[in-house]
C-alpha cells in the first residue's frame, strides 16, 4: 500500500507527497471533502509514508513491518478515533492525551487519525484544541471530515487543509473493479451515476434492494399532490423511524430536485447525460412539469438548511413534513 493506491485524488496526493518528501509534514492536517472519496484511506497511506523504514520519503514501500502493520490497522503508533453514538467525547480525547504521553514504539511518528472530526462535542473539541496548540514532538494529527464548517474556527486555524474532490466516474469504476464487486456493467453504471462522486454511495446502490427502495421512495415523492397531505405525514413518519437511512433519504431528495431543475432549465434535454437518475426520466419530467426553476431552487435551499441542522437532534419527521408540505403547496 502506498500513495499509488489512492485513485482519483492526484492533487491531494501530490500535496501530501510534497510535504512528506520535504520532511515538513505539519503537526495537524485537515483532510476535507465530500463523504466517501478516500480521505480516511489516504490518511492511512500518509501514516505509512511517514513511518516507512525502506522507501523514499515521498512514498511508502508497502512491504516493511511498519507498512504491513499500518495496512492491517494494527500498528502501535497509529491511532484511529471514531464517533461513539454520533459524537466524539472528551474521554476519547483524554485517551489521545494518554496515548501521546509515550514516544513512538516502532515508527518515527505517532499518527492520530480522527475520522468525522466534525462530530467532536464541545468539551472534546476544546480539549483537543489545547493539544493542537502545543502538539507533542513526533506527532501528526489527521482530522478527516466532510463538514469542516462545523469544526471550531480555532481548530481549523491550527490545521493545514488538504481538499479532496468528488471522484470521477472513471475513478469510481476503477475502484469498484479493483474491489471485485462482481456486479454486472449495467448495475455499475447506474450505481456510479447515483453516487455523486462518492465510492461509499456507489457501493450502497450496487445493492438491488437499495435501488428498489430508491425507486419506491422517489415514486412516492413524485406522486404527492396538494390533496395528499396524509401521504406526506405517512412518508415523513416512515423516514423519521428509519434512522440509518436519513442521510441517504435527504441525498435522494437533493439529487431528485436537482435533476428536476436541470430538466426545467434545459427542456431540450441536452443535460440529461448529467442526471443522477437518468433511468427515472419519465418520473422526473412529470415532477418538473409546472414547476419553475425558482421553486426548485427554493426547495433545494430548504433541504440544505434541513441537512445542516441534522447534528442538532432536530425532529426529522417534523422537519421533513414541513419540507414536503411546501413541496405540495407549490403544485
Nine-digit cell string for 6? 489512492
What gap in Å lies between CA 266 and CA 145, rounded to an integer?
34
Q: Is the dihedral of CA 250, 251, 254, 259 positive or negative?
A: negative
* CATH class assigned to 3-163: alpha beta
pLDDT per residue over 122-154, tens digit each?
A: 999 999 999 999 999 999 999 999 999 999 999
Nearest partner of 152 among 223, 225, 88, judged by Cα:
88
Predicted confidence (pLDDT) at residue 267 exceeds the cutoff of 70: no
User: Hey, which residues does 142 pair with through a beta bridge?
Assistant: 29, 113
What gap in Å lies between CA 264 and CA 177, rounded to an integer?
35
Q: What is the pLDDT of residue 319?
A: 86
pLDDT per residue over 78-92, tens digit each?
A: 999 999 888 999 999
What gap in Å lies between CA 207 and CA 161, rounded to an integer?
34
User: Hey, which residues does 141 pair with through a beta bridge?
Assistant: 28, 112
Q: Where are the domains of the chain?
A: 3-163, 207-329
Looking at CATH, the fold of the domain delimited by 207-329 is given as Zinc Finger, Delta Prime; domain 3 (1.20.272)
For residue 111, report the phi and psi dihedrals to the nearest 5 degrees. Answer: -115, 125
Assign residue 263 a region (left: φ > 0; alpha: ψ between -120 and 50; beta: otherwise).
alpha
Q: How does residue 215 score in pLDDT terms, banded at 50, 70 and 90?
A: very high
pTM (2 decimals)? 0.88
Amino acid at each position: 500500500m502506498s500513495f499509488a493506491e489512492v485513485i482519483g485524488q492526484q492533487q491531494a496526493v501530490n500535496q501530501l507527497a510534497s510535504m512528506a518528501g520535504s520532511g515538513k509534514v505539519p503537526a495537524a492536517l485537515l483532510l476535507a471533502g465530500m463523504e466517501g472519496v478516500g480521505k480516511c484511506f489516504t490518511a492511512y497511506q500518509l501514516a505509512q509514508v511517514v513511518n516507512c523504514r525502506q522507501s523514499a520519503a515521498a512514498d511508502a514501500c508497502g512491504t516493511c513491518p511498519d507498512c504491513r502493520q499500518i495496512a492491517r490497522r494494527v500498528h502501535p503508533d497509529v491511532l484511529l478515533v471514531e464517533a461513539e453514538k454520533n459524537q466524539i467525547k472528551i474521554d476519547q480525547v483524554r485517551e489521545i492525551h494518554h496515548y501521546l504521553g509515550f514516544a513512538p514504539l516502532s515508527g518515527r511518528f505517532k499518527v492520530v487519525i480522527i475520522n468525522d472530526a466534525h462530530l467532536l462535542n464541545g468539551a472534546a473539541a476544546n480539549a483537543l484544541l489545547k493539544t493542537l496548540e502545543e502538539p507533542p514532538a513526533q506527532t501528526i494529527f489527521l482530522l478527516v471530515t466532510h463538514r469542516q464548517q462545523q469544526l471550531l474556527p480555532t481548530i481549523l486555524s491550527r490545521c493545514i487543509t488538504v481538499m479532496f474532490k468528488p471522484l470521477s466516474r472513471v475513478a469510481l469504476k476503477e475502484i469498484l473493479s479493483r474491489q471485485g464487486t462482481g456486479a454486472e456493467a449495467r448495475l455499475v453504471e447506474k450505481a456510479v451515476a447515483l453516487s455523486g462522486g462518492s465510492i461509499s454511495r456507489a457501493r450502497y446502490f450496487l445493492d438491488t434492494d437499495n435501488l428498489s427502495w430508491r425507486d419506491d421512495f422517489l415514486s412516492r415523492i413524485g406522486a404527492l399532490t396538494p390533496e395528499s397531505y396524509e401521504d406526506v405525514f405517512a412518508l415523513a413518519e416512515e423516514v423519521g423511524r428509519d434512522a440509518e437511512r436519513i442521510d441517504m433519504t435527504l441525498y435522494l431528495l437533493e439529487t431528485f430536485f436537482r435533476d428536476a431543475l436541470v430538466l426545467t432549465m434545459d427542456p431540450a434535454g441536452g443535460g440529461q447525460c448529467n442526471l443522477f437518475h437518468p433511468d427515472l426520466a419519465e418520473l422526473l419530467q412529470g415532477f418538473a412539469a409546472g414547476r419553475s426553476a425558482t421553486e426548485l431552487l427554493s426547495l433545494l435551499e430548504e433541504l440544505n438548511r434541513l441537512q445542516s441542522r441534522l447534528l442538532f437532534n432536530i425532529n426529522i419527521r417534523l422537519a421533513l413534513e414541513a419540507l414536503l408540505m411546501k413541496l405540495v403547496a407549490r403544485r
